[in-house]
Structure 1
């Protein structure tokens, strides 16, 4: 048995998942669908994907019309990260479900009814696999100019689609191979100033996951070792720098979905502690002479290049900017979806304060401090205020409750392209949180 064989046997055969892991999956499904609904109404970046996808088919584009399964996954995938409001796995860090959920929604509406129990099982397996793959790296993928969230998320989405298609272990291996043939995630997505691809990036792996599973059901044969082979996933993207131990250790007994974090603010997870500290300080912006924001290995991308981060040109760039998000928190006293609209990006008060925000290097903050944050605020009267926080709100150690997530879902659903009334949104949220009892999960999401 190869590593690919072991993983594919697990994807196809895992069962008896305990209730805590299943409940964690229902929570991230609720959160993910809510964020996608909001993006269907708020994300201009996703409109081209919707226009291309809409047509005849059995699958729903959230907030819009119908489409064939691969195109529904494409459009819904474009919604997944468009608002940067979805769940995260802080330890790596990754977004394990942002392409898997759109792929899953397409698969459960494409053919015969799929039970809620089977949907939750598939998503639990896929999320866990993404986190395990992330832990397996012994050198960062960024060193080879790749963009990790898309790469690992694509494998997880492919696993979910394969499981929902009812593929056996051999055909699941074919599906992973077919995904590998479609997979790309250039690191330039982080560096280009004008692109919006960072916002809609999950459209591509979501669609590819559905295509891979459907082709595998038709008997298209893949590779014997799509993951660890001489030209497989780890060789191509990681240069062979990985350890299979973290993938296999406890696989099927311990589920990483229970360790996810949920976002109270719609921005990169690395900005959240600094946002919280800025809100906690509750200062008058006119009293602020300068702000230093602490940055470690991971946070550097949120302040570099500094001039761009102080005056971001696009909403997704603003969400990956410590100067902008901290300034928005201090000026507006909140950080909501409204703080990233076109008028906010040009707000003179936010931009003036963002220009005063500079990085303060913390060389002791490695990749294990990806969500740590700290501020050193110098006031015009000469006083200096310092604050640090090493675990962002929404982490399992500082969790959002089910009621918090239902409230977030309800607020997001009200911003859908086809807004849901509060009672309807609340009813749908409760259906998702009890989805294991549903015989036809696809019908639940025809909203």
Structure 2
């Protein structure tokens, strides 16, 4: 295992943009489109991000934009604010196989550096995004002990390490400095699992602000010559020792490195809630449409879940009546209730008033869960639903993967429509024609001479 970090950082530093596979470039463009739209929407819809935006503004003017607000800030502070927006609505892309959100801190970090270090052309930007996102996915795939065993919450930790490497690539750092950036990110890369258990906190919503800012700081300090560790990943007290008891598979990190990019396997969310709730939203909508029942017809609902989805139903009383918007988005009972009670799930579905809606709370209170790890789906991505109606009928459906996955993709047109809807909800909304024009330019990013200028406008 010795030399593993060196091998990875050397490959990243020496990777030439011309070698980026077309499929990886296309996936990177879709990731940027989706992430930018979600951040724009959060600027106008999420009160949880406002302290981060205010702090960025108070930190003084700089070359970087806080998306959707017209505020300028320094690179670290812009990354903090945009990173908080990236997950605030729980609408960003996901990597189901780990699972994780490889772009939630990476894209905000790269946007900040594209503003600060410009001009950064589209090919350079896409290459950094593809390499950083791929490493985040690989870090998760290589785990042979769940990080949760140590009390950690993996997605922001994995995403932050990938973001640091992507930021190093954007800055053009050599292999040693890239390893330094990875090491410096390891010094900041923490996220306790307590965010899953605390009822009142909204940290779970804005969590990606911290790794996004850390990635920018790590790459900039590495460029200034701050030395890191020789073995940040494989060392006796490195990443895998600290977070996974030293249990990992190096081959999952190295196999196809620079040739196969896991960001081509991303899931893009059709609904703004935790990925583990999506199968149940899809099944609830499908059963309601097929059988024509309404909320008042429902007697009981049984959700068949796996171990990953357990956090979305426990403690059951709390998940049936969530106290915060982000907790509602991490609740299978409440998401099922929204799907049936509102006839759909969108950015208007989760609000303070929805959390107090007696009809939704009544329906959510009828949901129970049964654990079954042998249901045949990938961790947290499938589900089984059984709905008992007052007339005695029992309706059942199941799926192994929910809409938006590589097996059931949304398609570019639906992603563009999602972007337009999100951009129209920004603190400074974009008109539909301007949003569509921006989407077209993002999807043609390889011909963009200055990504920072494009996104600043």
Q: TM-score range by the shorter chain?
A: over 0.9
CA contact (8 A) 2:305 2:370 kept: yes
Q: Which whole-Å deviations, capped at 9, do the CAs of 1:164-203 have from their partners, x for residues lacking one?
A: 1110000001111111111211110111100000000000
Quote the Cα distance in structure 1 between the aligned partners of 2:388 and 2:134: 43
State the partner residue of 2:13.
Answer: 12
After TM superposition, the structure 1 = structure 2 runs for residues 274-289 of structure 1, keeping only pairs within 5 Å, are 274-282=280-288, 283-289=293-299
User: Which secondary structure does the structure 2 equivalent of 1:368 belong to?
Assistant: coil
Is residue 60–residue 66 contact of structure 1 (8 Å, CA) maintained in 2?
yes
Matched, 1:361 2:381: no
> For 1:296 and 1:402, how far apart are their aligned partners in 2?
30
Q: Tell me, which stretches of 5 or more residues in structure 1 are unaligned?
A: none
The alpha-carbon deviation at position 111 of structure 1 amounts to 2.1
Structure 1 residue 44 and structure 2 residue 53: aligned?
no
Partner of 1:122: 128
Distance 2:243 2:383 in 1: 30
Structure 2: distance between partners of 1:297 and 1:100: 28
Q: What secondary structure does 2:349 align onto?
A: helix
The equivalent of 2:383 in structure 1 is 373
Instruction: Say if 1:143 and 1:344 are closer, same or farther in 2 by CA, change over 3 A.
Output: same
The answer (yes or no) to whether the contact 2:110–2:170 under 8 Å persists in 1 is: yes
Runs of 4+ residues over 3 Å off in structure 1: none
Instruction: Provide the TM-score with structure 2 as the length reference.
Output: 0.96
* Contact 1:298 1:367 (C-alpha < 8 Å) held by counterparts: no
Task: Write the distance in 1 (CA, Å) between the matches of 2:440 and 2:328.
Answer: 33
Kindly report which structure 2 residues correspond to 1:362-441, keeping only aligned pairs within 5 A, or say none: 362-365=372-375, 368-441=378-451
User: How many pairs are equivalent?
Assistant: 447
Q: In the alignment, is the contact (CA less than 8 A) between 2:56 and 2:78 conserved in 1?
A: yes
1:366-406 Cα shifts (integer Å, max 9, x gaps): 78342111111111111111111111101111111111111
Can you give the 5+ residue segments of structure 2 that lack an aligned partner in the other structure?
none
| Secondary structure of the corresponding residue to residue 292 of structure 1 | strand
Q: 2:4, 2:411 → 1: CA distance? A: 37
1:301 maps to 311
Q: Is 2:384–2:397's contact at 8 Å kept on the other side of the alignment?
A: yes
- The answer to whether the 8 A contact 2:378-2:401 is kept is no
Structure-2 residue corresponding to 1:62: 67
3-state SS, counterpart of residue 44 of structure 2? helix
Tell me if structure 2 keeps the 8 A contact 1:297–1:366.
no
How big is each residue's C-alpha offset from its partner over 1:138-164, in whole Å with a ceiling of 9 and x where there is no partner? 111001100100110011110111011
- Superposition RMSD in Å: 1.0
Query: 1:297 touches 1:367 (CA, 8 Å); kept in 2?
Result: no
Does residue 30 (structure 1) correspond to residue 33 (structure 2)? The answer is yes
SS in 2 for 1:337: coil
Deviations 1:400-431 (A, max 9, x none): 11111110000000000100000000000011
2:163 & 2:368 partners in 1: Cα distance? 38
Q: Distance in 2 between matches of 1:417 and 1:304?
A: 34
The partner residue of 2:118 within 79, 96, 112 is 112
Q: Distance in 2 between matches of 1:86 and 1:183?
A: 20
CA–CA distance in structure 2, aligned partners of residues 369 and 445 of structure 1: 35
Residue pair 1:82, 1:200 contacting (<8 A) in 2 also: yes
Report if aligned partners of 1:174, 1:220 keep a CA contact under 8 Å in 2.
yes
